[in-house]
Amino acid sequence: MISFRQMRMDDIAAGMRLCRAANWNQLERDWQLFLQLNPVGCRVAIENEEVIGTVTTLRYENLFGWIGMVLVDPSHRRRGIGMQLLQQGMDALGTELTNKLDATPAGREVYLKFDFQDEYTLSRMLARVAPTVSTNVAAQPLEATQLGKVHAYDLAVFGADRSALLNWQWEGAPQYAFGYMENENLKGYCLGREGFNYEQIGPVVADALPIAKDLLTAALNQCAGKMVILDILHFDQDWLNWIEELGFSEQRRFTRMYRGLNTFQNIPKKQWAIMGPEFG
């Protein structure tokens, strides 16, 4: 008999075990964030008093909900548990007019059955970073006092307030935080975070391609010799080509999907790399 309940802090060890089994990148700090931001929307599947699956959800200002961390123990797959966890996540979000997620190719086939629709494609790019990408950068390290500008800038592009997430990223990896200023106006920023397998740079949010390149270069200069992942959007072929010139290759693809109205305002073409499929 499989049962479901709200995830607790003492379930994080089980979540970590499932992450390692799936070769996912999350750390304990990531799970703690989900439980801090939306504890009632984080659910686990239980069998014989053991956690065998998870799902997390985030609410973005009641504009849309985000579903992530759908994980099932490898020994319990192909029993429909992932579909039940997805339903648990949607039930937890309840009244949201739009629910979104980033799907792997296998996951996409499941989500289509729940009336999710394709929105656009992303690629996870992986590389071991060279000692120095370029010394010719204009981006400057982001200070804590500048985070208010980042919040305001990001709100217009992402479409909802995610200041708690951005602050969490800056606190965890300030070495990857950069901003691009023109006449005291913020024209772009990037953040990053540490992971179990790789460092991840993103989001990279910028008004134009040259600014996005400059920001990413500044962050990658802090990653000498490290394995790094980027989850990038496909709106600009020159961006994809440049990422590949840096030595990145595609590890896997995701499809951003939505269920519901999807009428909130955002600007995907200014989102050059996302925070990660678990966050949007």
**Was domain 3-96 assigned CATH 3.40.190.10?**
no
Q: Once rounded to an integer, what is the mean pLDDT over residues 245-253?
A: 97
pTM to 2 decimal places = 0.95
The CATH 3.40.630.90 domain(s) of the chain lie at: 124-273
Structure tokens at 33: 């964030």
User: For residue 129, what pLDDT band results from cuts at 50, 70 and 90?
Assistant: very high
Q: Is the pLDDT at 224 greater than 80, yes or no?
A: yes
Q: How would you classify residue 184: left for phi > 0, otherwise alpha for psi between -120 and 50, otherwise beta?
A: left
Domain covering 124-273 assigned CATH 3.40.630.90 in the classification: yes
Residues forming CATH 3.40.630.30 domain(s) in the chain = 3-96
**Long-range CB pairs of 109-114, under 8 A, 24+ apart, other chains included:** 110/82, 110/83, 110/86, 111/86, 111/257, 111/259, 113/83, 114/83, 114/86, 114/87, 114/90, 114/259
246 pLDDT band (50/70/90 cuts)? very high
